[in-house]
A and B are shown apart, each in its own frame.
Chain A
Amino acid sequence: MTKSCEDLLDLLIEVGGEQWSINATKEFLSKSLHDSYTPVNYKLEEYSSAVFKRLWTKELDFPFNGQGNASVYSNGFNDEVPQNVRFKAGQFSGNHELNQLGGHIWHDTGDAHGNVYDYYTRSIDVFKNSTIPGLLATALTGGTSVCMLSTWENKHALNFVNEDVDNENNSLNAGVYIVHIRDKSNLTVKESILNGKDMYLNKWIYIIGYDSKLELTREVINSNGVVDDVSIIQYPGSELIVNTYDKDPQWRHLDITAYQNTTTTVNGSVLCKNSSSSHNVIVNHKGNNSTSTIKYHSAIYNNNVTDFIGSINVDKKAVGTNSSMINKNLLMDKTSKAKSIPKLNINTKEIQCTHGCTISNVDENEIYYLETLGVSKTNARKMIADGHIQI
């Protein structure tokens, strides 16, 4: 029997009570979703590709294909460019300002923006049947935010900043953000969650157009926690670099679908000092001659655990794929743990794929070397951990 996301929300509130905690939520979601739902409809590899397949085949009438009402979204794209977009308590606080610039970033509440809402309602039908946390966000949030980006200049940087310094309360902050990068664009995008007392539950979808380049930096600093689910589709000829910096409780799911002649670089820098962290990274090679490099480095302290599941899936058509995946974990003390599962699923010939993982203890000799140069033991450990997770 399938439960709806609304049911899940009720259960989550029960668990979260007045204080949302990522660990409690994680534990709860793991148990409930995996135990209760897995036998029914949950298959990790399938959920996202189902969404993507629909996007790709336009079954969802995805409006960003240059037809229909696409022009609605491109208003103001050629003029001034906002450098920072700030979200506050789940809203775009910069919306007013952005509206003045042409209103090309939308926070859709379901009544004003025609096609965005249409897209949202269609996609939610798909999302609702999934129990993946990020998709749950879709059900929890009142609307979806859609951003369409293109090249204004040769290279453009945009920052999405989620900051709730004024917020005294701890609550669940759910959001769905769709970012479509037009063909032949070259963009730098930064997502930041700063000083967040809330727990964030986000779904991000990035669509990278033909021959475009996106450099995406994702960081969480001094925050209560993030459960997020990122889906990225790379159209043919596109290049993607994702750098993720995690220093707080994380549960991240990153799913990339790459078509022909694409380049994908994914770097993860994970520091589990005050909390545990989970990363699930999937790269689906769907077209020929694509390249991907996945590198996750973690340093773990104090009874914390890091989980890494990495999957490279190579489709039948993806001849000439060149892919490598490495996960390196540094245990900073005897109580820390790392679990690593790198996986390859190859369905064609003439490809080159490698994968590997290491879990090692911090080298006391290195600590002592720094001490002989006048660095205290604590700082020496910090330097080595920071060095290990350097992207």
Chain B
Amino acid sequence: MKFQDVSITIDNKELLKNFNKTILPGETVVVIGPNGCGKSTLAHGIMGRGDIDVEGSIKFNNKEITDMETFERSKEGIFVSWQTPPELPGVSTFGLIKEIKEIKSAQIGTELKEFKNTLTKVGLPESWTTRPVNVGGSGGERKRAELSNLLTLQPQCAILDEIDTGLDSNGLKLVVEVINDRKEKNLSTIMITHNINTVQNLEYDYGLMFEDGKLVEVDSNVVEKKLKEGYD
């Protein structure tokens, strides 16, 4: 994913200015910064949320994505996990998977089995398949559901927005495992986090730190120092 002179504005507030960077396949990048600095806005700016104004160029697999609809960006292989995924009453979780993966009726049996394995892997019961999306799920369960979406889609580039918040220690281990596994598969991950335990166990290439409207590349020492000390 190639960023060229990317500036991001929301509600007339410029959060990022002239960002230039190329994230290569298989790279894992940790994004840090204080609350409200623009980490989530960056994630959703890349995805094309309507209220976020993105200037400059973002290319993915050499295609300009800033003109694409959000779902087209997803189809290209970009994924963003949500901090607080919404509840969708009446929409069954596997029904959503069927829609996303455009599963034909002949494949339903196999796909359902595979999805149940994914749920087991992320620590959710098989009954989750028929449950309405995120309805009644705890914060941790919703994060696990986001992880299952990530595993189901296997996107080329995943932006994980604090996917490690609200998870218990097993959940955190799982997140690290999943991201490290992605690296092995030559898939790239942008991990937005506040959690030092996550980054200490993560095989990442470098950090990107928000500082005065800029994203500055930093090494693991700075990342860990900042996460330990905080931003005050």
Contact = CB atoms under 8 A, between A and B. Distances in A.
Interface of A: 363-366, 368-377, 379-380, 383-384, 386-390
Given A379-B99, A383-B96, A387-B132, A369 B88 contact: yes
Contacts of A365: 86
Given A375-B71, A377-B71, A387-B132, A370 B89 contact: no
B83 to A, nearest CB: 12
Given A369-B88, A387-B88, 19 more contacts: A363-B86, A366-B86, A366-B88, A368-B49, A368-B70, A371-B70, A372-B70, A373-B96, A373-B100, A373-B153, A374-B71, A374-B100, A375-B99, A383-B88, A384-B91, A386-B91, A387-B90, A388-B89, A390-B89
Interface in B31-53: 47, 49-50
14 contacts: A364-B50, A368-B70, A372-B70, A372-B80, A373-B149, A373-B153, A374-B74, A374-B75, A374-B100, A376-B71, A383-B91, A384-B88, A384-B91, A387-B89
Given A377-B71, A384-B88, A372 B79 contact: yes
A377 B69 contact: yes
Contacts of A366: 86, 88
A247 to B, nearest CB: 15
B3 interface: no
Interface string B127-159: 000001000000000000000010001000000
Contacts of B99: 375, 379, 383
Consensus secondary structure, chain B interface = mixed
B56 interface: no
B206 interface: no
B125 interface: no
Contacts of A390: 89-90
Nearest to A364: B50
B132 to A, nearest CB: 7
B69 A376 contact: yes
Interface residues of B, number: 24
Most buried by B among A370, A371, A372: A372
B19 interface: no
Contacts of B90: 386-390
B160 to A, nearest CB: 13
B1 to A, nearest CB: 16
Nearest to B152: A373
B104 to A, nearest CB: 16
B107 to A, nearest CB: 17
A390 B79 CA distance: 28
Nearest to B159: A372
Given A368-B49, A371-B71, A387 B91 contact: yes
Contacts of B89: 387-388, 390
A368 B50 contact: yes
Contacts of B88: 366, 369-370, 383-384, 387
Contacts of B149: 373
A389 B90 CA distance: 7
A371 B74 CA distance: 8
Contacts of B74: 371-374
Given A376-B69, A384-B88, A384-B91, A370 B75 contact: no
A378 B17 CA distance: 33
Nearest to B70: A371
A390 B88 CA distance: 12
Contacts of B71: 370-372, 374-377, 380
A333 to B, nearest CB: 16
Nearest to A269: B90
A387 B96 CA distance: 11
Contacts of A372: 47, 70-71, 74, 79-80, 82
A341 B63 CA distance: 53
Contacts of A363: 86
Interface string B56-90: 00000000000001110011000110100110111
A369 B91 contact: no
A383 B90 CA distance: 9
B69 A371 contact: yes
A383 B88 CA distance: 9
B147 to A, nearest CB: 13
Contacts of B153: 373-374
Contacts of B47: 372
A261 B149 CA distance: 47
Contacts of A373: 74, 79, 96, 100, 149, 153
